Amino acid sequence: MRHVALALAILAAGCSSTPEKRAGGYYKDDGPGDSAKLASIPDAVPRAEPLHRYANRPYEAMGRKYVPLTRVGVFKQRGSASWYGKRYHGSLTSSGEKYDMYKMSAAHPILPIPSYARVTNLANNRSVVVRINDRGPFHSGRAIDVSYAAAYKLGFIAQGNAQVEIEQIVPAGAPLAQR
Count CA atoms within 13 Å of residue 81 on its CB side. 33
Reference 111, options 84, 87, 77, 82; nearest CA is 77
- Residue 160 and residue 59: Cα distance in Å, rounded? 27
Cα 152 to chain centroid, rounded: 14
* Bond preceding residue 109 cis, omega within 30 of 0: no
* CA angle in degrees (0–180, nearest 5) for 29-34-39: 105
Segment 33-61 mean pLDDT: 87
Show the beta-strand stretches assigned E in 90-159.
105-107, 115-121, 127-134, 142-147
pLDDT at 85: 76
pLDDT at 38: 87
Count CA atoms within 13 Å of residue 144 on its CB side. 31
For residues 125 and 1, which has the higher predicted lDDT (pLDDT)? 125
- Residue 40 and residue 179: Cα distance in Å, rounded? 34
Identify the band that residue 116 occupies on the pLDDT scale cut at 50, 70 and 90. Answer: very high
Over the chain, what is the mean pLDDT?
A: 82
pLDDT at 11: 43
Q: Is 161 exposed, middle or buried (0-12, 13-18, 19+ CB in 10 A)?
A: middle
- Residue 124 and residue 122: Cα distance in Å, rounded? 6
pLDDT in tens, 83-106: 987 778 878 999 999 999 999 999
Q: Does position 12 have pLDDT exceeding 80, yes or no?
A: no
3-class DSSP state of 162: strand
Contact 165, 84 (CB under 8 A): no
Domains recognised in the chain with CATH numbers: 2-169 (2.40.40.10)
